[in-house]
Structure 1
């Protein structure tokens, strides 16, 4: 095996670990080799016990670890704050809105503390903490089973509550999102819930900083019913933004401002 082939296979493995799934076509274009060469590389990595083949590509043998909510809070802080400020301006007084869990949606909840005459339903424990004591906001907790990693309520009790309600707007978070497959999460119980949340709202927003676009860390997916709006930051590549617009999403790219001094 030549040094270049060895280096390419190491790079392929690194990409698979980072994104969770590497497309043969994308890898072929990235490394400037044929698809058959990439398939041979994947076969070698599979034989070495490092990758497991999937339809169209590969994934690491070890499951991609899911970061806890605590670990995610400090990531992309300025981007999340900018996205939250934009989303807060969309909400009108007197509306009935639905908030997901996650750090970006919690940043939105923080922006809503001073809003008067607002009904907020949520599955996120951190969102509840943010809005506790906000005098102008009526908060409904959609209870169920508390999922430890994401600090969100999930399961049949949560879904039953949602089936009996409708909302003016829903704001969703995501572990990752692609134009081709939609929202990516660690397990199907989360994607099922997000799909139901999106169906119950008149307007659907996905709040996702640019680091999450085009990523595939897990293998549970949900396609959002159209039309829907992706709100991301100005670190997003023009290529990724165009993919989402071509797929039918409205994309709002917000400018990121420096973090205020503490």
Structure 2
């Protein structure tokens, strides 16, 4: 077995760095070509098929690729990862993001919190705050925050989605529009390099747009796997949020857009 395959290196951190580079190149190749076979990737990177399978499994777990028989393909722009899988994907990253967000929410604030596994982690930290008033279209968020008697939780009406307990529909949107709050906390499925915010469900996007339009400050919470990820429905642009909370530095193009439009960047350690 070669050093490249085993990941051995005489340089401290060399193994981790080389694997990260290979993972990025695999993702770039799949996005460029579509489906790529395991054998082709093994030949290109001079590693064993077993190594490629491990790489693909890791990248699929991170929501960056979709596993197929004999290879991998890009994540479809029309279909999100199942909710049960999203709950555990990048969980540690979402937890550190949530702690950072909570540090920036003062006591006695009013908030919108929308659907998403990252916003649900934010709610788990905010439950320790006092005197909050929270409007949400996410029953998981409502259940979490209702554990604190000093937090008033207001839930929108509408259609409850069985897969994630999110509330959608015109009734939910009309309800959100009745309020003007201090902070709107929203998640997202993808952030393009040009700053476009993308999601998979147009009904969810409509509710998120109402949150953006009726919040004095908008906090976008997203882990690093959403950068450059495709989704079909346009929510808006990074220019419309006041701050992004994430766990890794975004691509340089996106950072430049944020700087130019005075969007704060908070990167959790």
Q: TM-score, normalised by structure 1?
A: 0.70
Does residue 1:200 correspond to 2:214, yes or no? yes
- Partner of residue 67, structure 1: 81
- Partner of residue 220, structure 1: 233
- Partner of residue 230, structure 1: 244
- Partner of residue 121, structure 2: 107
2: distance between equivalents of 1:247 and 1:114? Answer: 33
Unaligned residue ranges in structure 2 (runs of 5+):
1-25, 35-72
2: distance between equivalents of 1:17 and 1:166? Answer: 46
Q: TM-score, normalised by structure 2?
A: 0.68
- Partner of residue 258, structure 1: none
Q: CA deviation at 1:72?
A: 0.5
Aligned length: 205
2: distance between equivalents of 1:68 and 1:117? Answer: 34
Q: CA deviation at 1:243?
A: 4.3
2: distance between equivalents of 1:166 and 1:15? Answer: 40
Q: CA deviation at 1:132?
A: 2.5
1: distance between equivalents of 2:129 and 2:31? Answer: 43
Q: CA deviation at 1:167?
A: 0.5
Q: CA deviation at 1:142?
A: 1.1
2: distance between equivalents of 1:63 and 1:222? Answer: 14
Q: CA deviation at 1:64?
A: 4.4
1: distance between equivalents of 2:208 and 2:27? Answer: 33
| 1:3-54 CA distance string (max 9 Å, x none) | xxxxxxx988831698xxxxxxxxxxxxxxxxxxxxxxxxxxxxxxxxxxxx
Question: Residue 252 of structure 1: SS of its match in structure 2?
Answer: strand
Q: Select between 186-195 and 237-246 the one with higher mean Cα deviation.
A: 237-246
Distance 1:202 1:11, change over 3 A: closer
Does residue 1:89 correspond to 2:89, yes or no? no
Q: CA deviation at 1:90?
A: 1.1
Distance 1:71 1:93, change over 3 A: same
- Partner of residue 165, structure 2: 151
| 1:36-94 CA distance string (max 9 Å, x none) | xxxxxxxxxxxxxxxxxxxxxxx98x764322222101111121111100110111111
Does residue 1:172 correspond to 2:189, yes or no? no
